[in-house]
Amino acid sequence: MSSGQNVLVTGATGLLGTAISERLPGEGFRCIPLERKKGESTPTGAWWDPPAGKVVLDPALPLRSVIHLAGAGIADKLWTKERKGVLRESRVDATRTLALALAALPPKDRPESMVMASGIGIYGSRGDELLTEESSDGDGFLATLARDWEDAAEPARAAGIRVVAVRLGMVLSPSGGALKKMLTPFRLGLGGRIGNGLQNVSWIALPDAVGVFLTMIGREDVQGPVNGVAPGCLIQRAFARELGQALRRPTVLPVPALAVKLLFGEMGKELLLSGQRVEPTRLFAIRYPFRYPHLEGALPAIGVV
Ligand SMILES: NC(=O)c1ccc[n+]([C@@H]2O[C@H](COP(=O)([O-])OP(=O)(O)OC[C@H]3O[C@@H](n4cnc5c(N)ncnc54)[C@H](OP(=O)(O)O)[C@@H]3O)[C@@H](O)[C@H]2O)c1
């Protein structure tokens, strides 16, 4: 295994990928983005074409680790049959392509670890059940997607690469992801509970999510699923109230469940009307130092004002 400090990052232009790429040099790593190209070279000699099943790596750049974040946006478009295919291919097929490419490297050049994104959607809709990494998978499109996504890393595991799947909750940042989408309606005073508002919202502030990925590079004692959520899970009504308070806006306008189902169909049901009460049991076990364990302090600290 290589002990170099090069870290290959897929999905490097995304919300997490940008933040992780910025943090890596300060932690003593060199970030090598795995750019999506179609046969062109890149300054680092690393590129991939996931639909073609192709990964090109420069053998002169031995890898310490791979941070794998790539995937088409889950909430970017309605879940038509075609869109579901894109969501699956960009995660399940792309992960298998990457894992096979890493496994095919000579043993001395293989990275020690592959730290991949997954999602708490793997637990399905479980009401108020407290979910840990030991909990069973759930049902539904997201649950099956996340299960198959994690399983697709098997060739890397089989080749002796330590695979960690960070099951992310909603990553909070005012500059991207779900929170950015919520800010405009909330600023206009149009925020409020969704459905009955009792669905659990497990979230993690972007700086903590970045910290979890970086921590996992060095934790040779950790493998398998790791819940990437803050300890302070809360129900959606309370989440809306906290967000309204941070923005100094009322949150009295409810969005009925029927409207969500009519507007967003299956996507609305799984992403907005269902929730998971997830505990970061493995992060507790390694005493991960959350900077933002509770939403109240997190929102102003990450720039939601
Ligand atoms: N943010 C959250 O709240 C959250 C919650 C749970 C799970 N996750 C998962 O964590 C990962 C990173 O999240 P993020 O918020 O940083 O996502 P993001 O901002 O949507 O970025 C994902 C990146 O994946 C690459 N990508 C886009 N379409 C692709 C395709 N069709 N095939 C292959 N790659 C594609 C792009 O990077 P390049 O152009 O550089 O390739 C894109 O910037 C995602 O897989 C996401 O599903 C995120």
Q: Residue 242 corresponds to which amino acid?
A: E
| Phi and psi, residue 34, nearest 5° | -90, 95
Q: Helices (H) and strands (E) in the chain — how many of each?
A: 11, 15
Ligand 1 atom 17, closest CA: 14
Question: What's the confidence (pLDDT) of residue 150?
Answer: 98
Residue whose CB lies within 8 A of the most ligand 1 atoms, among 20, 22, 36, for a mutation test: 36
Question: What's the confidence (pLDDT) of residue 1?
Answer: 37
102, 66 in Cβ contact below 8 A? yes
Q: Name the DSSP letter for residue 47.
A: E
Question: What's the confidence (pLDDT) of residue 121?
Answer: 98
CA–centroid distance, 177 to ligand 1, in Å, is 10
CA–centroid distance, 70 to ligand 1, in Å, is 5
CA–centroid distance, 249 to ligand 1, in Å, is 31
Tens digit of each residue's pLDDT (9 = 90 or more) over 213-233: 999 999 999 999 999 999 999
Residue whose CB lies within 8 A of the most ligand 1 atoms, among 31, 171, 216, for a mutation test: 171
Reported pTM: 0.97
Q: pLDDT (tens digit, 0 to 9) for every residue of the chain, 305 residues total?
A: 344 699 999 999 999 999 999 999 999 999 999 999 877 778 888 999 999 999 999 888 899 999 999 999 999 999 999 999 999 999 999 999 999 999 999 999 999 999 999 999 999 999 999 999 999 999 999 999 999 999 999 999 999 999 999 999 999 999 999 999 999 999 999 999 999 999 999 999 999 999 999 999 999 999 999 999 999 999 999 999 999 999 999 999 999 999 999 999 999 999 999 999 999 999 999 999 999 999 999 999 999 99
Structure-token pair, residue 150: 């994690």
Helix residue ranges per DSSP H, the chain: 15-23, 81-88, 94-103, 141-151, 154-158, 177-187, 206-218, 236-247, 257-268, 281-285, 295-301
Question: What's the confidence (pLDDT) of residue 171?
Answer: 98
CA distance 154 to 95: 9
Question: What's the confidence (pLDDT) of residue 38?
Answer: 76
* Candidates 3.30.390.30, 3.40.50.11290, 3.40.190.10, 3.40.50.720; CATH matching 6-301: 3.40.50.720
CA–centroid distance, 221 to ligand 1, in Å, is 27
* 3-class DSSP assignment, residue 102: helix
Question: What's the confidence (pLDDT) of residue 2?
Answer: 41
Tens digit of each residue's pLDDT (9 = 90 or more) over 127-178: 999 999 999 999 999 999 999 999 999 999 999 999 999 999 999 999 999 9
